[in-house]
Amino acid sequence: MAEETNKEGKPSTGRKVAEENPEAEAAEAETAHVLSADEKLSEARKTEKETAADLLKDDLGELKIRRAKGSKNITQGVCNVLATFNNTKVTFTDLKGNVISWASGGKCNFRGSRKSTAYASQVVTQTAGRVAMSHGLKEVIIKVRGPGMGRDSAVRAIQALGLTINAIIDTTPVPHNGCRPKKRRRA
């Protein structure tokens, strides 16, 4: 089967040359104009999405901590993390035990079984930590209590905030065979 060639001897692409059909050229230009308008719209949408994503990246990247009104100007403190099976509570105090800030799963709008997740623990710790940092907190001793899933994620969230961790202490109460435990689950 013989291939068609154009004037230069190259294989033809199947399009008619504009010199042969001026009406086809006008129709092609019109469709190109319509396509370019559609392409412009799609590109504009892409750039809008990219800019929104860029804004989110910038927002999550750098923490902007503002000084709180009536800030206590405390540089060292204690972070008490209570991680139960149902919830996670985080309290930042000064070295004497006076509360600087606190947060819990319910305070951060988690309800029901979501309160007991590791993600909820991370959000709770970040919320309380930002308020504590606005009061000038820079160094912290972490006291972790309880068997919940939020223990590790709370410590990681404090590291991510940029607080200096001086010590991590596990203060989970261990009985010397005191109270009778709850009945075993039949799962």
- Does a structural domain hold residue 15? no
Same domain, 103 and 129: yes
Same domain, 95 and 27: no
Q: Which pLDDT belongs to residue 134?
A: 92
Same domain, 101 and 148: yes
Domain count, the chain: 2
Global confidence as pTM: 0.61
A 10 A CB-CB count for 183 gives 6
Q: Which pLDDT belongs to residue 97?
A: 92
- CATH code for the domain of 158: 3.30.420.80
Q: Which pLDDT belongs to residue 101?
A: 95
Q: Which pLDDT belongs to residue 60?
A: 46
Same domain, 49 and 132: no
Q: Which pLDDT belongs to residue 67?
A: 61
A 10 A CB-CB count for 127 gives 18
Q: Which residues have CB under 8 Å from 49's CB, separation 6+?
A: none
Q: Give residue 96's domain range.
A: 76-170
Same domain, 31 and 85: no
Same domain, 83 and 58: no
**Gap between the Cα atoms of 6 and 179, Å rounded:** 95
Interhelix angle 151-161/118-134, nearest 10 degrees: 40
- CA neighbor of 133 nearest in space, from 62, 187, 63: 63
Using DSSP's 3-state secondary structure scheme, residue 173 falls into: coil
Q: Encode the chain (187 residues) as per-residue pLDDT tens digits.
A: 555 666 666 666 655 544 556 666 666 666 555 556 566 556 555 555 555 555 555 444 455 556 656 667 889 999 999 999 999 999 999 999 999 999 999 999 999 999 999 999 999 999 999 999 999 999 999 999 999 898 999 999 999 999 999 999 999 999 999 999 889 989 7
Same domain, 37 and 100: no
The answer to whether residues 121 and 86 touch, using CB atoms and an 8 Å cutoff, is no
Last residue of a domain, one of 62, 91, 116: 62
